[in-house]
Amino acid sequence: MTSPFRAILLAAGLGTRLRPITLHTPKCLVEVAGEPLLGRWLRQLQLAGCEEVLVNTHYLADQVIDFLEQWPSSTMRIVSTYEPELLGTAGTLMANRDFFEGSSGLLIHADNAMEGKLHDLLIAHESRSLNCLMTMLTFTTDRPSSCGIIATNSKGVVTSFYEKVPDPPGNRANGALYVFDTELLDCLSKMNPIPTDFSTQVIPALLGRIQTWHTEKTYLDIGTPSALSKAQTLLSPV
C-alpha cells in the first residue's frame, strides 16, 4: 500500500481455549518463536509502513498496556482502548471508526500468527475488483470444519461462506485479517442493526463485495495448546 494506513489489533479476548496458559497471561502475549504474538504483529505492521495502531484491551488489560508502553519507540504510533464489555470484531471497528480519519485500515486478530510480510496483501487490496469493499486474507487449512470456509469466483471475489459447519465444500479458510477503506465503514454504519461480528453478520451480508488474497505461507489461529505447539515448530521470528 503506497498511501499511509492504520490498523486495529484485536487483543481483548479471554483465551478460554488456551487455558491454563491464559489464566495469568492474555492470549495476545503468549510467546511464539520467542516473542509475544502481539509483538509479532507490531513488527509486521511497522515493516509494512503502518502509521498508527489501535489495540483494544479487556482481559488482563494491565499486562497488555504494560507491554505496549515498553515497546521500542518508532515512527509508528501505538494507542490502546479499554472495552469494559467485549464489543465483537465489527463492534470494535465501528466503535473506533473515527480512528481511521479517511485512511485505509487493517483489522487483525492479535491471537493469530503468520509467516511473511503484509506488503503483498496490501498491494492486492489496491488492485481489488471495483465493487469490493475489503480484501480478506485466506489460507489453506487441514481442519476446515473449525474455520470459516470460502468459495470465490474467477476474480477471487467471495461468493459463498460456510462458518464452522460440518464437511464444508473446500479447505480455503478466512484468515480473519481484513484490509478496507472508509467505504466499508460507511456501509456497515447503514446496516440495521449495526453489526458486531464479522463472521456471522458482515461477511454473509457482503458476498460478492469481498476480494481475497491467498497466502501459501504458514497462517495459524493460536487458539488451543495443540495449535500453539504447532506454531512453535512452524513459525520463525519476524
CA distance 26 to 205: 32
Q: What is the pLDDT of residues 156-186, one digit of tens each?
A: 999 999 999 999 999 999 999 999 999 999 9
Contacts 24+ apart (CB under 8 A), 16-20: 17/223, 17/224, 18/222, 18/223, 18/224, 18/225, 18/228
Q: What percent of the chain has pLDDT over 90?
A: 76
Average pLDDT over residues 220-235: 84
Q: What is the pLDDT of residue 2?
A: 54
Q: Which residue would you say has higher pLDDT here, 235 or 230? A: 230
For the four alpha carbons of 64, 65, 70 and 71, in that order, the dihedral sign comes to positive
Q: What is the pLDDT of residue 213?
A: 97
Average pLDDT over residues 218-228: 86
CA distance 125 to 140: 20
Grid cell digits, residue 160: 459463498
Query: How many folded domains does the chain comprise?
Result: 1
Give the other-Cβ count within 10 Å of 151's Cβ. 14
Which of 101, 117, 105 lies closest to 41, judged by CA?
A: 117
Q: Judge whether residue 237 has pLDDT over 90.
A: no
Strand spans (E) along the chain: 5-10, 31-32, 35-36, 52-57, 77-82, 104-109, 112-114, 134-140, 148-152, 158-163, 172-180, 210-214, 219-221
Q: What is the mean pLDDT of the chain?
A: 92
Instruction: Provide the 8-state DSSP code for 146.
Output: G
Nearby residues of 161 by Cβ (< 8 Å), 6 or more positions away: 148, 149, 150, 151, 174, 203, 204, 207
Q: What is the pLDDT of residues 21-45, one digit of tens each?
A: 888 999 999 998 889 999 999 999 9
Which domain covers residue 82, as residue numbers? 5-234
Q: What is the pLDDT of residue 177?
A: 97
- Exposure string (b/e) for 197-221, b if CB count within 10 Å is 16 or more? ebbbbbbeebeebbbbbbbeebbbb
CATH number of the domain within which 223 lies: 3.90.550.10
Which of 51, 46, 47, 63 lies closest to 12, judged by CA?
A: 63
Q: Check whether the bond before 204 is cis (ω within 30° of 0).
A: no
Q: What is the pLDDT of residues 99-130, one digit of tens each?
A: 998 889 999 999 999 998 899 999 999 999 98
Q: Judge whether residue 235 has pLDDT over 80.
A: no
Nearby residues of 235 by Cβ (< 8 Å), 6 or more positions away: 32, 33, 113, 115, 218, 220
Q: Judge whether residue 1 has pLDDT over 80.
A: no
